[in-house]
Each structure stands twice: as C-alpha cells, then as structure tokens.
Chains A and B, each alone.
Chain A
Amino acid sequence: MKEMKVISKRFDKVNPLSIQDYINTNGYTFLKKAIKMERISIIEEVEASYLRGRGGAGFPTHIKMMGLAKETSMPKYIICNADEGEPGNFKDRAILEKDPYAVIEGMTIVAYATGATKGYVYIRGEYLEALKIMKHCIQEATENNLLGNNILGEKFNFTLEVRSGAGSYVCGEEFALIESIEGKPGRTRIKPPFPTQKGVFNQPTMISNVETFANIPFIIEIGGKEYHKIGTPSSTGTKLLSLSGNIKNPGVYEVPFGVTIRAVIEELGGGTLNNRKIKMIQLGGSCGPIIPEYMLDMIIDYERFEEFESKTGSGAIIVMDDRSDIFDILMNTVLFFEHESCGKCVPCREGHVQLLKIIDKFVKRTASSKDLDSLESLARVMHQTSLCGLGQSSPTSIISTIRFFRDEYLDRIDHPASN
C-alpha cells in the first residue's frame, strides 16, 4: 500500500514559511477560483464531497457551513481548532508546521462561502513552533492581500488571528475552546444553542479542525463529486493518521478512508519493533477504544468507529506490543483525564478520581468482582451523562477493555496478590 498524498503533498517539499513556495505549488489557485463562484455553490461542492470533520467526531462540514451562512447576525466567526491535545495525535501539528498556508486558504474559502469576516486559529500552547509559523504566515498572507480587506480585489474582508492555548486539553472541545478565546477558563456551555447560532462572543461561529480546513482547497480543485469517489461512501477523502507506539516507523501518513488498520501498521509503519507481537492498539488517542490484535483488519472509516461512541476518527493509532499491560495503560489514560477534566459536571469531576481508585485495585490485584461491576457501571454512567466530549469519551478505554480483555480483569480478581 502506498500513501495518497493530498493534504500532505507539500510536506517536506516546500518551505512552509514561504508564501511564494505555496503559490508556486498551486497555492491560492482555489481561493481565486472560489471567490468567483456563488457562495452557495461552494457549500454545495462541500456537500457533494461529503467532507466530515477531521477532529474525530466526523460531523458533516457542509451542515456547519450552511448553518453559519444562513445566520444574519454580524460579525460571524470561523475558528480553526488546532488544540490537538489528544495523546497520540500529531497530524495537525504536521499540517500547521509543514503546510500552514493550506489551512489559511481553506479557512478563507469557508469564510467567503459563509460570510464570516473574522477568524481565529486556536493552537495549543505546547505547539510553540506551530504558533510561530502560523503567526508568520498570517502576516505574510495579509501583506499579500490574501487576508485583510478586499481580498484579491473583491468585496471580501477576512482577518485571521492566532490564539494560544495555555495547557488545557479540554479546550479542544468546541465550546471550551470558545470560552478560552474569550479569556475564560475552558469550561463548555450547554447546547443548544450551537456555535453556528451563538459561538464566540455570542456571535455565529463555525469551528472545525485543522485537517478539515486543509481539505477545502482540494475539494474546490477537483469538485465535490470527484472528491466523493475517494475513500468509502460514508467516509470520503483521505485521512492523516498519527502512527505511534511500539512501531518501527512512527509518523504521519495519509491514506484514503477504507484501508485496514493492519495494512497501515504493517505496510506504512513497518510493523512492530523487533517484530514483537501486537497485543492491542488504541484508536483515536486516549479517548478512544483499546482493541485487540484480531480486530486490526477493521477498515478505517467513521462508520466502523462510531460503534465505539467516541471521537475515534481523529486518526491516531497507538500500537502496543505484548509487553504492555492493560491496567498500566488504563492508569495512565485515566490519570490524564482526571488531570484534564474542567470540573464543571459531576460525573467527570468526581468520576475519574473514583475510576482511578478502582483501577488501582486491579493493578494491585486487590479487586473483587464487585469492583469490576462498579468500574463498568461508573464508566457507562460517565459516558452517558457527562456534559462534554471529555467525560463522554474518556471511559471508552475502560469500556472497550472490559469488552475485549475481560479475561485479564477476571484473572486479576481470581488471582489476588498474596499479602
């Protein structure tokens, strides 16, 4: 299997800081094309492409665009969610550092199509390099009349600003991110209203992932219909995958939807280090399911991932070989969420610390079958009742391991530590 380089076509081939390099490689051709199109036709092209959000949840992009376009309250905002904090994900960082102008061009096209005049790129504070690059590129684009007032001589104004995160994973959640842009702690809001109705500063706002915006110029280039032919019917286009863990060639790879996880690991990732056996992989990052080796023939698309009810679609694959211990990984994962919970809603605020207590019993082999029931029941309640995606998806690793590795839980119960 070979990569299909659409979003990553400029990676390591051009100077990412140079707007001239970008223009020389077809950059901004599609903004020029879009700006001559009817605004609604742009959204129709995106609809025809059936582009879905690349942050993980997979919400159809054209619905957000249409939602924003039909709002009349001005100003309207576009936000690029570059708060890629999910452990195991680094594909957005790659785009931001290696092809930043594609994100800017994509945002500009969306702004034109929806009537937005102001945009933010919210980059997590840990991505110092990406922050620097993005600030530079926005300035370059502005100086070249590709951002700012009367872009390309048309009656179209769009300004873009970089905002930095300050160490909070939950700010990747759309309303938490919006609160953070407003200078507040990143605690989510109640929906409805949705961001396209009342987003940042209570104005209509469309918020999408870095990779989603990077796809927009390509859709304008080949048209929605052609785009729809790539990938699978429910999951069109390509996907950037972040491959990490016990693997020979970790890195970012771009493949069309529909390839199997095994092919990606073996053919692109070169298999495991020292050819050890794969025990399990975690899909989508820490908020994703942990699945056993025998499921690796599953194909990568949103439909398959939806079964796990978490934001699996971000494209992270963390490979863990036979040396890994489930409870060690769970401890690490839940500790992360316990640290990152915003504290607003009860299940997430009080739940994680209780999950940790129970997992610790499994680590120490002091758990009973009652603890297993408690663990599963609590994980499900958190999944079903938490206010935002963090608490809803953080128990996925627990729910999936209880499903696929139940024996290991039972073993810990049946073979308690001898005092």
Chain B
Amino acid sequence: MAKLRINNIDIEVEDNLTILNAAKKYNINIPTLCNYPDLHINSECRICVVEIEGRKGLVTSCSTPVRDGMVIKTNSPRVLNARKTITELILANHDSNCNACAKNMNCELQNLSSVLGIDKSRFESTLEIAPIDEDNPSLMRNPNRCIKCGRCVIVCKEVQSTNVLELMGRSHALTVTPAFGKFLSSEECTFCGQCSSVCPVGAIMEKDETDKVWAAINNDNKRVIVQIAPAVRVSLGEELGMAPGSIVTGKIVSALKLIGFDDVFDTDFTADLTIIEEGNELIQRVTTGGTLPMITSCCPGWINFAEQNFPEILPNISTCKSPQQMFGALSKSYFTEKVGIKKEDLFVVSIMPCTAKKYEAQRPEMSVDGKHPDVDVVLTVRELGKMIKQMGIDFKTLEDTKFDNPFGITTGAAAIFGNTGGVMEAALRTVYEVVNKKPLENIDFKDVRGLDGFKETTVNLGGMDVKVAVVHTLANARIIAEQIKNGTSPYAFIEVMACPGGCIGGGGTPYGTNTSVRQKRIDALYEVDGAMAIRKSHENPSITKIYEEYLIKPLGEKSHHLLHTHYHARKVKHNEDKKNVMATY
C-alpha cells in the first residue's frame, strides 16, 4: 500500500495503481481524453496531467504509478492552465462545427471543453480540410474531426489485428488513414466498426441511413417491416438514458410501432432457423466426412476478415446465411407470398448492433430476385436511438408490446446469439438432442460463456467426443484461422464473433462500451434466455411450422436457395515466402 496526498486529502491505495485510478477511488475524477478503459494507455493527449511536488514538469496521471509519499495536485492553476491550453490546441485543429456533427452532445471533446469552461480556442485554426471517406456501405471517416488520439488505431491493430488504420506522417501533418492514404473501401477493412465505437469525437461513425427509413415509412406504397437483432434488446436502453444491461424488448416493439413500422419482427426467429440449418449442416459434415472444423457464419465482420485474409479456410465456414439475411430472404419470398404483396412493395429494415451488417446487406448474393437487396436498410442501435429521440418518444415509460407474427415466436437459444459463446450453446442444445435422441440434462453450457477470448468444451455426440471452440475478437479469430490453415485445429465446430464480447459489444452499440458494460449486456441476454418458455431452437413451434408450410426440410432445395450462400476470396495476397522470392529472382 502507498500513502500519499492528493489535493488536500491523505489517501492510501495499492501500489502500482496509476494516479488517475487512485484519485478516482477517492471521487476525484481527473479529466482524460485519449484514455479508454479497455485499451492500453496511450498517454498522447496529455489532458490528465497533474502536479507532483518536487517535479518540475507535469506528469500524466494515466501513466504514472503512485508512490509512497507523493504529494499530488490535480487542480493547481498550473495544471488547469495546461489542460485548457492543450484542449484549445486540439480545438484549433478540429472541425468544430458541432451542430453539423452527429456526435453533437455525445462527444468527449465537446464535453471536455465544457468541463474546462472553454468557449473558444485562443489559437488560430490550423485545420486543413481533407476529403471525407464514405464510399463504403458501413462507415464514414471525417479526418477533419480527427484528434489523432490513436484509439481507433489501437483497436484496429491490437484488438482486431486487421491493421487497416495507421498513424501516417508526423508532426502537424499526422493523419489516421489506411495504407497509401486510401479510403476504407479499398483496404482490407472488415467494417467491424470497433474504431467507430471508441472514437471520442465524430471522426469515424456508422453511415447514417435513418433518412432512408423515414422516407420508406412515409411512403404509402411500401409495407415497411423491421427486425431487431438479439443484442439490441439489451443495449438500446443505454442510448436512451437507461442503465447498461436493461432489457427493453417490449419497449422497442412499442417504439418501432410508434415510429410507424407496419410489422415488427424478431431476428431471434431466424436465429432459431439458423440453428436448425447450421446444426444439420454440422451433422452432415461430421457424418459424411465433410470439411471440418465447421465455423459459424453469422458474423459479417468475420466473413469479411476470412475472405480477405484466409481464402484457404472458406470451405470451413458454414454456408448458412446470417440470421439477418435469412430474415431478409424469407421476407422477400415467404412473407410477400403469404401477405400477397409484390417484393418491390416490401421494405425491410434491420436494427443491428453492427456496422458490418450494412455491408452484408449490400452483398449481391443477398438478394432473392437478384435485383433488390433482401434487407433494404440496416440501422445500428445508435441510429435507432436517434430515430426514437427524433420521434419524441419517452422511451423509459413505454408499455411493452409483443412481436408480430409470423416471425415473432422465438426461444432462449436465439436470444444468446447476441453474445460470445451463445451461438455455440444454442447449437449444442439442438445438435446434442437431435443426434443423441435424448434430452439434455443440463442445457447450460457454462464452459463457452463469459468474456475469455478463447473458450472450448467437449460434447458427446453419438458416442463420439467432439471438441468445440469459441473465439471473439478478430485477433483471436486470426489465431484459430491460422491453426485451421496449418491443419492443426483439433476442433469440429468453432464459433467466431468479430467484436469483443460478441454482438453485444458490436461496432454499432451505444458509445462507452467496455468490459463491465459488455458483461452487463451478456448477463441480460442470459436473463432473457432463462425467462423464455422455450430455450431450444428445435422446439420453436413457428420453426416447425415454416418447415411444414414452406421450407419442407433443413438443407433442402428451398433452404439451399434462400438460406445458404457462398464466399469468395476477396484479394489475392502476395504470399510468397522467402523460397518463392528466390524462385522469381
């Protein structure tokens, strides 16, 4: 323990705690900017400086460990002046047209200037206007707002290992861009959007598509339907002033109805369907000597990553479309037929915790008629939050409403699709019972739950012990993909989700996501699961019905056409090793 003095109070804290965290324990919140809970300390912005008696310079509290006997001032005139000056320097090289920024009122820089009482920067603007990167379906990068805090670069490199964004150049000309200063569309971006979820300002955000939805809703010729992903029900509340992990399923349905959607459906329905198709695919691969391990395909960030970096393992990926796209395909076939409208008169909206889903919906394969996308617009949780605010809905006091049918009856298995390990657990609940023809004694697969980056378990299927694994973050996915590539993977089935924690930590979830928030959202999904009457996908009566009415059988011809897809290597990589280089010379 170290005894020290902060401002005028004596405190005692564990050794090796940073000054920032030590002060926090005593309710002194030193302002920060580049600091982000789950990322390593960058100490770039210098906002969190404090004065330590006996030291000439100021030190950053985020990076300096406490020492016994330290006398620290967090609010001396020297400290306050430094903080203010630094903030003004940032503002002088930032597009401060806050009213025209979607991050307005939700911006860490804006908040900091307000806390420090800055009304304008005393420095002349040095901003040089650069073009906005927005020619991809998912993300918008506005370099004029970038404050070079480096969070996005750290996430892109260390969490996702995608290495798309880098700090380029130096000094005042420092920028954050992909290689050769190009746009995201031309690089190996998976559109996972983790960069957007850590950006303190409005420099990287999802592409706002709310206007398209407002237009569709106000078009009398369109029937506008909406699906909400599992993770949305435990994260949207935060966007509207509720605590992390609030379960708001019924309120979302009510809000969507108020906004004007004709039918409000649940992606959980097609999550159950995914389990039936994917489970059968797994059984088929295992019993007929197909390519193993099989890898889940729900996550579009992961699909992009695999197509770009691991073309060799594409045959390992389940051919099942993601629940979002199964929903889209059924909407523009089964549903339109059922309600008797033309495909072009149906407008399908998805609410997703994800930015890569925007990309996925625009893939040419994701169209049953080959002309129109099955899912017309994908909104992130944040965009839905915005629509609810625009509509003036008092979300917290909304009554619950139930989902519409035919895509409204779901199971607990589908709910947990929204977190890491959930797809695996849902699949095991079904595959075990289908293969072993007996009910599971305990349907909770606790080994695959939780925030560990890498989880595994063994299940007995038809007398055979089968090893399965669960990974999240693309850095962990890379490890498991390398294993498969090298032929050393011991697993039969692997679940991959690109974002930390799975979809509940997706790039489209409310700002401020960190480990503790992720855990709360996960806990909430298991709570939803536990409260459901049916907790196994194959017991969902609506699923049984859609097979009877329309799909006939899993992996059948209709399924093949509507619910399965294929992947393609996106980029031929220069992968010559040293030997090949010698050969070309």
Contact = CB atoms under 8 A, between A and B. Distances in A.
A309 B56 contact: yes
A98 interface: no
Contacts of A20: none
A377 B88 CA distance: 13
B43 A346 contact: no
B333 interface: no
B86 A385 contact: yes
Contacts of A392: 57
Given A338-B172, A341-B172, A385 B126 contact: no
A239 B46 CA distance: 36
A347 B90 contact: no
B89 interface: yes
Contacts of A192: 65
Range, interface on chain A:
20 to 34
Contacts of A338: 171-172
Contact of A345 (B46, B92, B167, B173): B46
Contacts of A168: 170
Interface string A321-358: 00000000000000000111111111101111110010
A384 interface: yes
A392 B58 CA distance: 11
B455 to A, nearest CB: 28
A347 B89 contact: yes
Nearest to A351: B89
Contacts of B82: 381, 384-385
B203 to A, nearest CB: 15
A312 to B, nearest CB: 14
A374 B171 CA distance: 21
A352 B171 contact: yes
B328 to A, nearest CB: 44
Contacts of B171: 338-343, 349, 352-353
B44 interface: yes
A157 interface: no
A350 B174 CA distance: 10
A387 interface: yes
A346 B89 contact: yes
Contacts of A339: 171
B170 A377 contact: no
A349 B49 CA distance: 17
B170 A350 contact: no
A388 B299 CA distance: 42
A185 interface: yes
A74 interface: no
Contact of A343 (B49, B122, B169): B169
A263 interface: no
A350 B90 contact: yes
Interface in B387-406: none
A384 B58 contact: yes
A66 interface: no
Interface string B306-346: 00000000000000000000000000000000000000000
Contact of A387 (B44, B47, B56, B173): B44
Contact residues on B (Cβ < 8 Å of other chain), bracket: 35 or more
A1 interface: no
Contacts of A343: 148, 167, 169-174
Nearest to A378: B85
A128 interface: no
Given A354-B89, A377-B85, A392-B57, A385 B46 contact: yes
Contacts of B43: 190, 345, 387
B28 interface: no
Which DSSP category, helix, strand, loop or mixed, fits chain A's interface? helix
Q: Which of A190, A340, A374 has the most CB of B within 10 A?
A: A190
A349 B148 contact: yes
A381 B85 contact: yes
Interface string A357-369: 1000000000000
B174 A354 contact: no
A249 to B, nearest CB: 36
Q: Which of A338, A374, A385 has the most CB of B within 10 A?
A: A385
A357 B85 contact: no
A334 B126 CA distance: 16
Query: Which of A342, A349, A384 has the most C-beta atoms of chain B within 10 angstroms of its own C-beta?
Result: A384
Contacts of B65: 192
Q: Which of B43, B60, B82, B170 has the most CB of A within 10 A?
A: B170
Nearest to B169: A343
A187 B123 CA distance: 26
A236 interface: no
* Interface core residue of B47, B65, B85 (most chain A CB under 10 Å): B85
Contacts of B60: 190
A306 to B, nearest CB: 10
A185 B85 contact: no
B86 A346 contact: yes
Given A341-B172, A352-B172, A190 B49 contact: no
Interface in B12-60: 41, 43-47, 49, 56-58, 60
A41 to B, nearest CB: 32
A383 interface: yes
Contacts of A344: 44, 150, 167, 174
Interface string B163-203: 00001011111100000000000000000000000000000
A113 B173 CA distance: 44
Contacts of B173: 343
Interface in A154-180: 168
A350 B57 contact: no
Contacts of B44: 344-346, 387
B81 interface: yes
A246 interface: no
A8 interface: no
Contacts of A383: 57
A215 interface: no
B419 interface: no
Given A192-B65, A352-B171, A385 B92 contact: no
Contact of A377 (B41, B45, B81, B124): B81
B299 to A, nearest CB: 31
Contacts of A342: 170-171
Given A347-B86, A378-B85, A353 B57 contact: no
B89 A387 contact: no
A37 to B, nearest CB: 35
B92 A384 contact: no
Contact of B45 (A309, A345, A352, A378): A345
A359 B63 CA distance: 33
B52 to A, nearest CB: 12
B267 interface: no
A357 B122 CA distance: 12
A386 B172 CA distance: 14
25 contacts: A185-B167, A187-B167, A190-B63, A309-B56, A338-B171, A340-B171, A341-B170, A343-B148, A343-B167, A343-B169, A343-B170, A344-B150, A345-B44, A345-B45, A345-B46, A346-B44, A346-B45, A346-B46, A349-B171, A350-B89, A350-B90, A374-B122, A384-B49, A385-B57, A385-B86
Given A338-B172, A347-B89, 15 more contacts: A168-B170, A190-B41, A192-B65, A340-B171, A343-B172, A350-B126, A353-B171, A353-B172, A354-B123, A357-B124, A374-B122, A381-B86, A384-B49, A384-B57, A387-B44
In the A-B complex, the 6 residue pairs with the closest CB atoms: A343-B174, A350-B89, A341-B171, A381-B85, A343-B170, A385-B46
